[in-house]
Amino acid sequence: MDLFGGDELRPPLAERMRPATLDEFVGQRALLAEGKPLREAIEKGAPGSMIFWGPPGTGKTTLARLIARHAKHEFVGFSGVSDGVPRIREIMAQAEERRRAGRGTILFVDEIHRLNKAQQDAFLPHVERGTVTLIGATTENPSFEVNGALLSRTRVFVLEALSPDDLETLLERALADAERGLGDLELTAEPEALSRLAREADGDARRALTALEAAASHVGAKGVLTPQAIEDALQRRFAHYDKAGEEHYNQISAYHKALRGSDPQGALYWLARMLDAGEDPLYVARRTIRFASEDVGLADPLALGIAIAARDAYQMLGSPEGELALAEAAVYLATCPKSNRVYEAWGAALEAAKATPAAPVPLHVRNAPTGLMKELGYGKGYRYAHSEPEAYAPQDYLPDELRERTFYAPSEFGAESAIGERMKRWEELKRAARKENP
């Protein structure tokens, strides 16, 4: 006899508790509320091909099964991990026979993002002919992972992680259901136990139900589910993060924008999230150095040095000690004045350089290492700044056609305010010199 009173092994709790009707489905109200396009398509039994994009355990497979049931179509599964083109041919041959007999096929492609372009292309003619209705499921952004031809023939629905309230509803249902769930065990759950599990399951119904089943196995029939039992069942929570996937870019973007937005709390949080999930700290350090140049610039000339020092400190200390240096740099950069004027100036200078690739260097700022070059006027009229009053020589350094161009205009923030004052004074001296020597 197993724990659940049967002679045969039962499917996992998450599989047994899979909703059999739309009314049992919990979550995704933005897609399944009355009047929403997806719900109407399901209820009418004419769904059309689609892709479900969302985190694990949010109901993608369940929705595909419900669609097949409402449409009275055959549900056929296909794994993007283990199946290939020969399996596609086999499925399509069977689907064609069904179609001739007057019955449709829902082809559910799990982890469609793992298929290569040739495999995805193999679905196209069958989707166009209506041999199958394709429903793909992916945890990755389909804009990047699904080829354009297939994407143009499907509708994309975005599924969100389940809320703690939704998960708690599922957990209570599983504890009460004697037929499919754990009701025959007569378990008692302390109030904090289920709410803790609902919070720590990270919006993943499968994870929540799997942990509940493990906790039930631990405490036994008529046992009490405590927060400690839940913690033991959960073990370590692993963040949803893929260093090559969209979440990688989402989180580094959030970190960068928190720094730019002068929010040290957000910067520290996203830094911690990335490092805790296994991101390369030196990648984060490189992005931090870039931020110091792009978004702080000369508003705080120390920023770049601090960012570089944080990288060097991490290289010397490693994890976890070196992570503190990255945190220090993040707080410093988030709280210092911001300016992107150097970033904008560099972009404008590059644009001007490409537009005027043949503009000659003014003679007075050319070097004259030979007699001939001196005779040709190289260096003639050059004024040595250190010999001038205020250590500034009011002369032009740009080619004639760019003489009036301004690439760098300092902001009013931080150290750039003082830089701006110096530049104003130098411009006054230059204008005065031009009046004397038009």
pLDDT tens track for 195-244: 999 988 888 999 899 889 988 988 888 889 998 888 888 875 445 555 55
394 shares a domain with 429: yes
The CATH number of whichever domain residue 196 belongs to comes to: 1.10.8.60
263 shares a domain with 297: yes
Residue 150 in domain? yes
pLDDT-above-90 percentage for the chain: 34
pLDDT at 62: 92
pTM, two decimal places:
0.62
175 shares a domain with 154: no
What is the domain count for the chain? 4
CA dist., res. 92 & res. 85, Å (int) = 11
The CATH number of whichever domain residue 147 belongs to comes to: 3.40.50.300
Helix (H) or strand (E) holding 106: strand 105-110
> And the tokens for 356?
């005027």
266 within 8 A of 243, measured Cβ to Cβ = no
pLDDT band at 428 (very low <50, low <70, confident <90, very high): confident
pLDDT at 242: 57
Question: Mutual orientation of helices 205-219 and 164-176 as an angle, nearest 10°?
Answer: 40
378 shares a domain with 280: no
> And the tokens for 314?
């991490």
Q: Helical H runs in 292-402? A: 302-317, 323-335, 341-355, 371-375
389 shares a domain with 301: no
pLDDT at 246: 65
Whether the pLDDT of residue 37 is over 90: the answer is: no
**Which is it for strands 155-158 and 50-53: parallel, antiparallel or unpaired?**
parallel
CA dist., res. 234 & res. 239, Å (int) = 13
Which of 46-55, 134-143, 266-275, 391-400 bottoms out in mean pLDDT, i.e. has the lowest?
A: 391-400
CA dist., res. 254 & res. 270, Å (int) = 7
| Domain ranges, residue 312 | 252-335
CA dist., res. 236 & res. 226, Å (int) = 17
pLDDT band at 284 (very low <50, low <70, confident <90, very high): very high
The CATH number of whichever domain residue 394 belongs to comes to: 1.10.3710.10
The domain boundary, picked from 142, 158, 174, lies at 158
Residue 352 in domain? no
The domain boundary, picked from 234, 263, 282, lies at 234
Whether the pLDDT of residue 433 is over 60: the answer is: yes
Residue 342 in domain? no
Residue 121 in domain? yes
324 shares a domain with 268: yes
**DSSP letters for 114-160:** GS-HHHHHTTHHHHHHTS-EEEEEESS-HHHHS-HHHHTTSEEEEPP
pLDDT band at 327 (very low <50, low <70, confident <90, very high): very high
Quick: pLDDT tens for 87-126. Answer: 888 888 998 888 888 888 899 998 888 888 878 888 888 8
CA dist., res. 179 & res. 92, Å (int) = 36
Residue 17 in domain? no
Quick: pLDDT tens for 61-83. Answer: 999 999 898 888 999 988 877 77
CA dist., res. 37 & res. 35, Å (int) = 6
92 shares a domain with 213: no
Whether the pLDDT of residue 167 is over 90: the answer is: yes
262 shares a domain with 215: no
The domain boundary, picked from 97, 128, 158, lies at 158
Whether the pLDDT of residue 2 is over 60: the answer is: no
- Residue 288's CB is within 10 A of a number of other CB atoms, namely 25
Q: Helical H runs in 161-301? A: 164-176, 191-200, 205-219, 227-234, 246-260, 264-276, 281-291
CA dist., res. 100 & res. 116, Å (int) = 30
175 shares a domain with 148: no
pLDDT band at 245 (very low <50, low <70, confident <90, very high): low
> And the tokens for 409?
């205009």
Q: Quote the mean pLDDT of the chain.
A: 86
pLDDT at 306: 96
144 shares a domain with 49: yes
CA dist., res. 255 & res. 286, Å (int) = 13
Residue 22 in domain? no
258 shares a domain with 209: no
The CATH number of whichever domain residue 270 belongs to comes to: 1.20.272.10
Residue 18 in domain? no
- Number of helices (H), then strands (E), belonging to the chain: the values are 21, 7
CA dist., res. 325 & res. 314, Å (int) = 7
Residue 186 in domain? yes
38 shares a domain with 76: yes
